Amino acid sequence: MENNTTIFQDASRVLNLTEVPLNPLEEQVITIFLTMLICGVGIAGNVMVVLVVLRTKHMVTPTNCYLVSLAVADLIVLLAAGLPNISDVVAFWIYGYTGCLFITYFQYLGINVSSCSITAFTIERYIAICHSIKAQFICTVSRAKRIIAGVWIFTSLYCTMWFFLVDTDETVYTNGVVVTCGYRVSRSLYMPIYFLDFTLFYVIPLLVATVLYGLIARILFMSPLPSHLNDRAGGGSVHQGHSHSTNKTNKGTVSARKQITKMLAVVVVLFALLWMPYRTLVVVNSFIDPPYHNTWFLLFCRMCIYINSAINPIVYNLMSQKFRVAFKKLCKCGRRHKEAEYVVPMYYSVMKNSSHGSNEPVTEQEEVGGHAASRFNETDYEASVS
């Protein structure tokens, strides 16, 4: 993402015999208010996501590991892109050459990691729902951590190119010198880089998400459900005495999977919509001369990006009972819930066959409602994994 006042512009050292242009007071007030509001909410929310997953044992699942990665990436975007915008709208670029390099680098690092994290949990959900037997071996917390580490390493190396593409420039006015953080290469050279970013971190993730969520919907919301999601509901089981309870458990598991999938799909849709104005503007400005630089539309594009990085914790709170209860517990809000109402996990409906000779525990926990979990007692669990 380009740096604030120099967005979509080539900066150069020139002698300008006019006075330093100042942003209108109305623009300053609106920018500062919206940026502080959105970034404040977003920073607090994403910090809470990281804390509740790291501090709550039953929240450490493969999906939540990717959500932590997404939260950290969003924090970087808010800190590296949002907060500098506050000072920049008032006093131009005040962070110097080093700040220009590293702020630009971290902007793109956060943006690209968030896109990769969304792609990763989309693929994880597809495997968990559509290939649940393989999921027992593939969708594990340890593998998720390795994938996340790989994403951060790859993206960190990829974004190093920005150290060679940006620089500070000075424009001399009659009453002072204005420093800007811009591009050291011409527009024709950095536009291919934008298209590469546009393809790798927007178009491809959305195409993957569209295809995979379509396949997930066909499996998860079809009627009747496939046998592997029905979890052998009593049919031919040696545990016939538990069939009624197991059926209730299966319904709770499928319902929980639907809710998790809906929540993650909402995150993807918001990512697509809130990044669309900025991505569209970059594409349009690649083909028109002079480029479109309307101040208020640029402000709108920035605010959409900040909102995208701030809104995910709100989505989790609205659509996930586990996150909602964990957030309340972290904030010490509301009465204390009984452990059985939100701690007891539900596992993949297809368990490992005992012939595998492996004692490795199933790693994926499915979210369930408080009442469903309270009915899932130890005897029912033993029946379901036998």
Most confident range (mean pLDDT) of 252-256, 329-333, 372-376 is 329-333
- Number of C-beta neighbours around residue 357 at 10 A: 7
CA distance 108 to 359: 43
With respect to residue 354, please indicate whether it lies within any of the assigned structural domains.
yes
Q: Flag whether 171 is in a domain.
A: yes
* Residue 64 within any structural domain of the chain: yes
* pLDDT confidence bin for 352, thresholds 50/70/90: very low
Average pLDDT over residues 349-367: 39
CATH of the domain at 112: 1.20.1070.10
Question: Alpha carbon 322 to chain centroid distance?
Answer: 18
Residue 155 has pLDDT above 90, yes or no: yes
Mean pLDDT of all residues in 1-24: 55
CA distance 257 to 125: 9
User: Which long-range contacts does 134-140 make (Cβ < 8 Å, 24+ apart)?
Assistant: 135/348, 135/364, 136/348, 136/350, 136/351, 136/352, 136/362, 136/363, 136/364, 139/62, 139/363, 139/364, 140/62, 140/363, 140/364
Buried b (16+ CB within 10 A) or exposed e, 293-319: eeeeebbebbbbbbbbbbbbbebbbeb
Whether 134 is in a domain gets the answer: yes
* Mean pLDDT computed over every residue of the chain: 78
pLDDT score of 224: 53
Please return the burial class of 4, using the count of CB atoms within 10 Å of its CB with bins 0-12, 13-18 and 19+. buried
Query: For residue range 28-71, what is the model confidence (pLDDT) as tens digits?
Result: 899 999 999 999 999 999 999 999 999 888 899 999 999 999 99
Residue 68 CA to its chain's centroid (Å): 8
The pLDDT of residue 292 is 86
Inside any domain, residue 193: yes
Contact indicator for 311, 270 with CB cutoff of 8 Å: yes
Question: Is pLDDT of 385 > 80?
Answer: no
Look at 121 and 178; give whichever has higher pLDDT.
121
Residue 333: predicted pLDDT: 52
Is 189 part of any domain? yes
Q: Which domain holds residue 90?
A: 4-381
With a cut of 80, say whether residue 362 has pLDDT above it.
no
pTM here is 0.77
Phi-psi region at 143: left, alpha or beta (left = phi > 0; alpha = psi -120 to 50): alpha
Q: In the chain, how many domains are there?
A: 1
**Residue 328, in any domain of the structure:** yes
Name residues whose C-beta falls within 8 Å of residue 236's C-beta, 6 or more positions apart in sequence.
Answer: none
Q: Is the pLDDT of residue 245 over 80?
A: no
Ramachandran quadrant class, 235 (left: phi over 0; alpha: psi -120 to 50; beta: rest):
beta
For the stretch 67-117, pLDDT in tens is: 999 999 999 999 999 988 888 887 778 898 999 999 999 999 999 999 999
Residues 146-160, mean pLDDT to the nearest whole number: 97
Whether residue 386 lies inside any domain: the answer is no
